[in-house]
């Protein structure tokens, strides 16, 4: 039985990290809200008594419902060909994934530093201050860490000699950062050549070529986590 | 061999979620930076080529180093008596833990909405705006979710009929919220009686009585994640 993935149907968002693993792993799934619309997602979420999730994405399996992006990926990595085997590598990949999710949350809060319920326009001065700190301090701090993590591997991938869901996630995270902060990421390009090379390797994976060329791969936009507001970017 | 836990030695912080599981689970460990000081922690962190962690806490095991709080707890839950058995429950508890860690990060950002590298005093107007949204929107949203999660269980605990690391974490999260936002939490008390009762059950666990009465249990402070600044609290 294919998995049911539930996520907002019009943005890559956090759902994209799960989609990439499902697609590259050749794992059958239905992207339910893309088939049935956002109202179906809202109805499904409110239909679970305990709440299947605090927020999408969530995955429906034979055994129940699993939420939290890194938790879904851990589950998929245990069962399908998208994570390295062995306890140590399993928790290493989970550790990297969780650190990426922390950076994703910070990238979101750049344009929403005060409240998710307010518009960007209602928190713009604060967003400009937070963007400065994110560009100057946080992007290098996270990317230095991922660079060191990659350099310590015996192979070309974060988990060693074969790609895992963490590489797919880093590919999407870097793409999102380049979309939202093109000037800053261009200025940092030479410092993070090894990460850019990893991004290129993922983009060239035969397992992903159909997906990346398809309409299933949604575009970034200013409704998403990674948003390009020119006033928040600088070299 | 006992585990080595590494975390900042003067605050509960995120390390406390791990300490509670180690203590309640009767799992032998050494709290290395509490024995050897903060300089030893910094030396240990910089001594790992790939970085053992983006940030503490991390746990040293026979097989390597594991970082990210929820990842450490997942590892401990698989090996020791602090999580329910079975795949479904395992990922359910991990899902709740990750949602708690999201709330912890938001509680931190209330007093640091702009940058972790700036003092609170340098981002106080922004903190006051963010605190309003956190008190009014985010605390109820998260606590409603944890309430529904608890109400859906067949027993008194988030994982059913026995405590797990997620209950210990919710105990500490609620304690932190009461410390940081005493007026708001008092105003919400009647709405979340079931969560307060869970907090009381954890406080009364025989497995934790020695620890909670000891000097190993550190106090909250304004150096920590949960900080009490009166200007950020209101009913």
Integer Cα distance of A224 and A15 in angstroms: 11
List the single residue in B with minimal CA-CA distance to A116: B133
Residue A112 in domain: yes
Question: CA of A118: which chain B residue's CA is closest?
Answer: B133
Residue B118 inside a domain? The answer is: yes
What average pLDDT does this structure show over B118-145?
96
In-domain check, residue B124: yes
**A68 vs B105: CB contact, 8 Å cut-off?**
no
* Whole-number percent of chain B with pLDDT over 90: 94
Residue B169 lies in a domain: yes
- Give the torsion sign (CA, A169, B93, A77, A41): negative
Q: Nearest Cβ partner of B66 from A63, A95, A132?
A: A95
Residue at B148 is within a domain: yes
CA distance A64 to A74: 15
Both tokens of A10, joined, read: 């019009």
Q: What is the pLDDT of residues A78-122, one digit of tens each?
A: 999 999 999 999 999 999 999 999 999 999 999 999 999 999 999
Whether A58 is covered by a domain: the verdict is no
Asked if residue B119 is part of any domain, the answer here is yes
- The share of chain A scoring above pLDDT 90, in percent, equals 94
Closest chain B C-alpha to A71 CA, distance in angstroms: 6
Residue ranges of A 90-149 with Cβ closer than 8 A to chain B: 91-92, 94-95, 98-99, 102, 105, 109, 113-118, 123, 126, 129-130, 132-133, 137, 142, 145, 148-149
Contact A14, A70 (CB under 8 A): no
The one-character DSSP state at A232 is G
Instruction: Tell me: pLDDT of A168 over 90.
Output: yes
A174-182 mean pLDDT: 98
CATH of the domain at A196: 1.20.1050.10
Q: Do A115 and B133 touch (CB under 8 A)?
A: yes
Q: Which pLDDT tens digit goes with each residue over B176-219?
A: 999 999 999 999 999 999 999 999 999 999 999 999 999 999 99
d(CA A230, CA A182): 9
Give the structural domain span for A120.
Answer: 87-205
What is the per-residue pLDDT across A7-26, written as a single tens digit (0 to 9) for each?
Answer: 999 999 999 999 999 999 99
Cα A232 from chain centroid (whole Å): 21
User: Pick from A231, A148, A154, A163: which is nearest to A198 by CA?
Assistant: A163
* pLDDT for B51: 59
| A31-44: pLDDT as tens digits | 999 999 999 999 99
Three-state secondary structure string covering chain B: CCEEEECCCCCCCCHHHHHHHHHHCCCCEEEHHHHHCHHHHHHHHHHCCCCCCCCCCEEEECCEEEECHHHHHHHHHHHCCCCCCCHHHHHHHHHHHHHHHHHHHHHHHHHCCCCCCCCHHHHHHHHHHHHHHHHHHHHHHHHHHHHHHHHCCCCCECCECCCCHHHHHHHHHHHHHHHHCHHHHHHCHHHHHHHHHHHHHHHCCHHHHHHHCCCCCCCCCCCCCCCCCHHHCCC
Q: What is the pLDDT of residue B50?
A: 58
Domains held by chain B: number:
1
| Complex-level ipTM beyond the 0.85 threshold | yes
Is residue A10 a part of any domain in this protein? no
């Amino acid at each position: 039985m294919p998995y049911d993935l539930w996520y907002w149907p019009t943005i890559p968002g956090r759902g994209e990290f799960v989609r990439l693993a499902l697609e590259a792993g050749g794992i059958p799934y239905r992207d339910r809200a893309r088939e049935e619309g956002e109202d179906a997602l809202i109805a499904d979420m409110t239909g679970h008594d305990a709440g299947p999730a605090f927020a999408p994405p969530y995955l429906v399996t034979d055994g129940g419902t699993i939420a939290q992006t890194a938790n879904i990926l851990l589950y998929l990595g245990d069962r399908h060909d998208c994570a390295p085997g062995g306890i140590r590598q399993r928790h290493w990949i989970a550790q990297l994934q969780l650190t990426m999710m922390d950076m994703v949350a910070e990238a979101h809060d750049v344009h929403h530093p005060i409240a998710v319920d307010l518009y960007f326009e209602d928190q713009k001065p604060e967003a400009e201050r937070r963007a400065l700190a994110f560009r100057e301090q946080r992007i290098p701090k996270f990317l230095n860490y991922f660079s060191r993590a990659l350099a310590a591997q015996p192979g070309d991938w974060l988990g060693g000699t074969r790609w895992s869901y963490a590489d797919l996630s880093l590919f999407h995270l870097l793409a999102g950062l380049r979309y939202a902060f093109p000037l800053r990421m261009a200025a940092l390009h030479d410092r993070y050549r090894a990460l850019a090379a990893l991004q290129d390797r993922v983009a060239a994976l035969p397992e992903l070529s159909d997906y990346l060329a398809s309409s299933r791969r949604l575009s970034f936009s200013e409704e998403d986590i990674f948003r390009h507001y020119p006033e928040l970017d600088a070299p």
